[in-house]
Amino acid sequence: MIELADEQRRLARTAAQSESNPIEFDGLSFGNNGDGYWIETAKRGLRGLSASAFDSTLSDEQIAPYISNWHFWEHTVAHDGRHRRAFLRFLESAAQMDVHDRYAALESGMQTTWGELSITATLASHGVREYQLHHERDAGTSASKLETYENPFDAREIARFDSEGRYRPLQTAPSLIDGWIYPALTQREVFETVDILYPATIPNWNLERTGELDITHWHETAQRQTGIYDMVEELSTEAVDWMAASCCADSECLKRREWEYDENTTLEADGGSGVFPCREPCSLVVAASRQWTQLEKQEPRSYTFELTPAEKEQIEDMIESVAEGNISEIREADVSEGANRYRTRFLREKRMDEEGNLSGTPTHSSEKEDG
């Protein structure tokens, strides 16, 4: 049962008399014509109402949710921020559900997953929306066991470090810490908080929905670079593909890569399945590509190493573990793991010389000549 605030009733009366009447919004229409006031929803229609009858009709059990819904969307959210509005509409499936069903769903909470975030829209007093925000891993944790936050800008503390205390330069890396909750955000605050945790994902998601997403492919991004990044244009298509596969996979970034090598050359790497798109190589990719541009200039050469089959496999295990970020999960005494620290120290002891050369083989042939 929605109880309207005086302000909501007043605005409805004013709107019914205004030049813009009739008002039509989300299955509600109301206005004023020669016969007096009228109001109509899918469930109820009343015409020829006096001002006082119109007033009391607004509070009708069937009508009040529609009025509060109109008030929330047209006065509280309004139209200043199209991306915010679209996102908030999405959070309550406004395009799919009529007000009656939506209010019933909001009563018990409508949940949306956004990256690693779980957002639940509910109804506060007078049908005003309230949003709860926490890490999706904390879905089953009681709010009393989570650290409570109120100020959207404090979300910067949540986003800054991962669970091991390492700085997170990429906000959409799937390494957001859990253990916190925003129990009751307003419509503007939930937008601001998500925009801090996953910057610009809401505008880009909305632009994609409306067919307006401006994708900048790798080659254009690379061409634009100047200064120390001027060189990245030289990176081969093949290397850009390896880079996208290594850095932009779902395991590394929750954005769904929509950029390709260029408009006509797609990359083989999987773009991922995130809700929000990645419209351009990010600054981390550009910075890393500079390293690869330099490294990829080297020509391959043949080296001869002597390794046992187990040692070859161990090196492969080590690469795998570092690439997957699993090192910290390898137990101290689990020497059956190739990337175990003792196994690695043993390999170093056995196979590397004092200069750190694997199998005593110098990296550059000149070293051999010099030595």
Partner 1 sequence: MEALVIVAHGSHLSAGSSAPTHQHADTIRATNAFDEVKTGFWKEEPSLREVLRTVESEEVYVVPLFISEGYFTEQVIPRELRLDGWDVSEWNSDGLSADTATLEAADTDHTVHYCGPVGTHRAMTDVLIRRAETVTGDPNIGSDVGFAVVGHGTERNENSAKAIEYHADRVRESTRFEEVKALYMDEEPEVDDVTDFFSTEHIVVVPLFIADGFHTQEDIPEDMGLTDDYRTGYDVPAAVDGHQIWYAGAVGTEGLTADVILERAADAGADIESAIEMVREKTRQTPFADD
The residues of the shown chain that bind partner 1, judged by CB under 8 A, are 80-81, 83-84, 153, 156, 160-161, 167, 169-172, 195, 199-200, 202-204, 207, 214, 216, 224, 226-227, 279-280, 282-284, 287
Considering beta carbons, is residue 155 or 267 the nearer one to partner 1? 155
Cα gap 289→280, rounded to integer Å: 14
Q: Are 220 and 214 in contact (CB under 8 A)?
A: no
* Min separation Cβ 216 and partner 1, Å: 8
Q: Are 130 and 119 in contact (CB under 8 A)?
A: no
* Min separation Cβ 15 and partner 1, Å: 23
* Min separation Cβ 227 and partner 1, Å: 6
Considering beta carbons, is residue 214 or 370 the nearer one to partner 1? 214
* Min separation Cβ 324 and partner 1, Å: 21
Considering beta carbons, is residue 116 or 311 the nearer one to partner 1? 116
Cα gap 23→71, rounded to integer Å: 11
124: CB partners within 8 A, 6+ apart: 130, 184
User: How deeply is 322 buried, as exposed, middle or buried, from its count of CB atoms within 10 A (0-12, 13-18, 19+)?
Assistant: exposed
Cα gap 256→248, rounded to integer Å: 8
Considering beta carbons, is residue 65 or 203 the nearer one to partner 1? 203
The first and second tokens of residue 327, run together, are 């090192």
Cα gap 270→178, rounded to integer Å: 27
For the four alpha carbons of 328, 113, 258 and 81, in that order, the dihedral sign comes to: negative
Considering beta carbons, is residue 102 or 279 the nearer one to partner 1? 279
Q: Are 39 and 21 in contact (CB under 8 A)?
A: no
Could you give the dihedral angle defined by the CA atoms of residues 292, 296, 297 and 301, in that order, rounded to the nearest 10 degrees?
A: 150
* Min separation Cβ 114 and partner 1, Å: 15
Cα gap 5→293, rounded to integer Å: 63
Residue 45: strand pairing partners: 40
Cα gap 354→204, rounded to integer Å: 53
Considering beta carbons, is residue 162 or 178 the nearer one to partner 1? 162
* Min separation Cβ 170 and partner 1, Å: 8
* Min separation Cβ 80 and partner 1, Å: 5
DSSP 358: B
Reported as half-sphere exposure (CB side, CA atoms, 13 A), residue 353 has a value of 9
Considering beta carbons, is residue 133 or 207 the nearer one to partner 1? 207
Considering beta carbons, is residue 189 or 280 the nearer one to partner 1? 280
* Min separation Cβ 165 and partner 1, Å: 10
